[in-house]
Amino acid sequence: MWFVLLAGATITVAFTYLFAMRSFWLHAVAVGALTAMIVFLIFTIAVLNHAFDGNVRVGPQAFELALKEMGR
C-alpha cells in the first residue's frame, strides 16, 4: 500500500512538470503547493496509521469510559 501511495504521489508531482506556464515563478509555486499538500497528506496517513503508538496516542481511558457509559 505504501509503495502505491508513494509511487502515485511521485507520478502526480512529475506530471506537473509537463504543464506549460508562462511564468516560472507561478509554476514553481504551483508545484511546491501540490508537493506540500501531498507530503502533508502522506504524513497524516502515517500518523493515523499508528494512532495507538508514540507520545501522542489514543489511550484506553476513552474507550473504557465509553464502554462504561454504554453499559448504563
Q: What is the pLDDT of residues 48-69, one digit of tens each?
A: 888 777 777 777 888 899 999 9
Cell of 40: 502533508
Rounded mean pLDDT of 7-36?
A: 91
**pLDDT value, residue 28:** 92
pLDDT band at 10 (very low <50, low <70, confident <90, very high): very high
Grid cell 496509521 in the structure block, residue:
49
Helical H runs in 1-72?
2-15, 24-49, 60-71
pTM above 0.75, yes or no: no
Rounded mean pLDDT of 16-44?
A: 92
